[in-house]
Amino acid sequence: MTDRAWFDAAKGDIPQWAASMPKDADGTTIDWDWVRSLDLAHGVGTIPESTPQSIHDALKADYATREHLESIIAQCNSTFMTDFDRFIGSYRLPRALAYANRRLNDNINTLLHLGEQQHLWVVSRERRGRTTVAVLRPYSGSRPSNDDQGMLDLSGEAGGTSAGNTAAENSDVKFPTTVALDDVQDRTAAILDARAERRKAQRFQKRAGDAAMARANLSGATSPGGAALPGGAAASGNATGHHPKPDWRDAYLPGRDVDAVMGIDIETTGIDPARDYIIDVGFEFMNMASPRPAGEPETYAYEQGYYAAGDAYGQSRLAFGVPPENAALGNALIAKLTGIDVRGRSSEAGYRLFDEWPQAQAGLLARLTQQPYVAHNATFEHSWFMLNVAGYAESYRAGRITIIDTLPMSRQWDPGAVPTNEHPYGDNTLDAYAKRQGALDSAHNERHLGLEDSHIMLVAMKHHLAALKAQGKGPWGSTGRAGVGGKSCGRKR
């Protein structure tokens, strides 16, 4: 299909999703007719007149739409992965919903800035629970504070306002605060907290049910109070020394036969794949055991001159853009972290958007399925690929993708990752891990660019595996496993 015909195909999947997923992540019955009515390709946001009440009403409507969309998107992953009969054939509907939600989020941020310009409110970005939300307070003539976003230039020229001025100070429009703010507050934090509490209650109920079953089985006849924990007293952990307890991330640990891998890292405009954009992808290949392939170029010029390609080969750096509305808003936090200023990454400036570029998605997917891919905190990359790369979810569900994560390697197998008050599970950032494994000089820091971060990650992984093999630990220890290892998903019945 060409252009945006895939949105129509995505809507064609609604009957499959409706039959398998009647409720969203918050337990609310999904109105699939409403989903079918959305213009996913051209936008689901509200464009108001420039009056205080119109801006208020548009923001309220957009918040409500975003809440509905995101509660559906949040439920799609578990529904798709537990569809063992493969009734749902494609993941394109969640990708289409996420596509529309990103543009809707841009519209919300534009409305927030417009309200600031008209002195309807002051916006601050505050960390609350699991996320950062926009908090609106009445305008009182004080200087609004917003360290996470750039300034919106309503003239259409990105970067037209200085970073030291606020939108309200730059505007000649003077409106009194005449709109209520209680019904236009961002409820994301409360929604996520409530969702987490429901999951916690469900886990508690499951554990209680498992315990009841254990007491009811024959072991209860000889074990008063129910069956013992698997492994006996040792299951509670070793209180002496640094012995990290197993957790769900251990499924991503490599096996002792791992060899050719692709390291990958992405840079994004935020942390939410349903709201933000991929702007930088870097990947390269490295063999953990066998020699470097003959015929590959011997050198590669990284941004950091002190990086040496060494055993790495097949390096690639891909740059992507953002919609004009997102570019106009700017993103000071990402610019400071990565050096990428999205004000110069507008699609109008010639940058292609990753979620609008099928060929780029297909090329990346082909590489992700050729061999295991490695990332540091790989669940981050995985969540973005699910909602951005056509065919990724389907390939993962079919078992064609294997994921290895260097984060649990650091947590479980690196004795330098000792718990401290500042880092209760040890310092397992890529920066700290790479320095401990000799992949990054202590005088330098992680660059926060896809290719450079992929490189130090793979170098650290190779050094780490070599040391573990020499010591008979990690994959070669008593709890290690044969094969490539890593996390993959196969068909289950």
Q: What tens digit of pLDDT does each residue of 30-78 get?
A: 999 999 999 999 999 998 888 999 999 999 999 999 999 999 999 999 9
Residue pair 132/148 in contact (Cβ under 8 Å)? The answer is yes
Among left, alpha and beta (phi > 0; psi -120 to 50; other), residue 407 is: alpha
Measure Cα distances from 277 to 62, 385, 427, 467, 469 in Å.
19, 11, 28, 38, 39
Exposure b/e, 172-199, CB count within 10 A at least 16 = b: eeebebebebeebbbebbebbeebeeee
CA distance 446 to 430: 7
CA distance 139 to 193: 29
CA distance 113 to 107: 10
Which pLDDT value is given to residue 110?
96
- Whether this model's pTM surpasses 0.75: yes
Q: Is 42 helix (H, G, I), strand (E, B) or coil?
A: coil
Burial of 286 (0-12, 13-18, 19+ CB in 10 A): buried
Distance, first Cα to last Cα, the chain: 33
Residue pair 391/362 in contact (Cβ under 8 Å)? The answer is yes
CA distance 68 to 70: 6
Confidence of residue 420 (pLDDT cuts 50, 70, 90): confident
Give me the phi and psi of 222, to 5 degrees please.
-115, -5
| Enclosing H/E stretch for 452 | helix 450-471
Kindly provide the residue ranges of all beta strands, DSSP E only, lying in 344-477, ordered along the sequence: 373-375, 402-405
Residue 230 or residue 23, greater confidence: 23
Measure Cα distances from 400 to 109, 243, 371, 489, 490 in Å.
38, 33, 9, 8, 8
Q: pLDDT tens digit string along 220-235?
A: 454 445 444 444 433 3
Angle between helix 52-81 and 92-117 (nearest 10): 160
Does the pLDDT value for residue 457 go beyond 60?
Answer: yes
The rounded Cα 90 to chain-centroid distance in angstroms is 21
Per-residue pLDDT, averaged over 384-403, amounts to 98
Angle between helix 188-216 and 52-81 (nearest 10): 30
Residue 89 or residue 164, greater confidence: 89
| The two structure tokens encoding residue 150 | 């750039």
Looking at the DSSP assignment, which residues form a beta bridge with residue 398?
none
Residue pair 405/253 in contact (Cβ under 8 Å)? The answer is yes
Exposure b/e, 404-442, CB count within 10 A at least 16 = b: bbbbbbbbbbbeebeeeeeeeebbbbbbbbbbbbebbee
Kindly provide the residue ranges of all beta strands, DSSP E only, lying in 312-420, ordered along the sequence: 313-319, 373-375, 402-405
Confidence of residue 90 (pLDDT cuts 50, 70, 90): very high
Q: pLDDT tens digit string along 152-171?
A: 333 333 333 333 344 444 44
Does the pLDDT value for residue 282 go beyond 90?
Answer: yes
Confidence of residue 147 (pLDDT cuts 50, 70, 90): very low
Residue pair 308/443 in contact (Cβ under 8 Å)? The answer is no
Residue pair 123/136 in contact (Cβ under 8 Å)? The answer is yes
Q: pLDDT tens digit string along 284-327?
A: 999 999 999 998 887 888 888 888 889 999 999 999 999 999 99
Confidence of residue 452 (pLDDT cuts 50, 70, 90): very high
| The two structure tokens encoding residue 142 | 């004080």
Which pLDDT value is given to residue 247?
86
Question: CB within 8 A of 376, min separation 6: which ones?
Answer: 265, 405, 406, 407, 430, 433, 453, 457
Q: Is the dihedral of CA 218, 223, 228, 232 positive or negative?
A: negative
Among left, alpha and beta (phi > 0; psi -120 to 50; other), residue 366 is: alpha
CA distance 493 to 491: 7
CA distance 421 to 438: 25
Q: Report long-range pairs for 31-40 (Cβ below 8 Å, ≥24 apart).
A: 34/68, 35/11, 35/72, 35/97, 36/11, 38/100, 40/7, 40/10, 40/11, 40/96, 40/97, 40/99, 40/100
Looking at the DSSP assignment, which residues form a beta bridge with residue 262?
285, 373
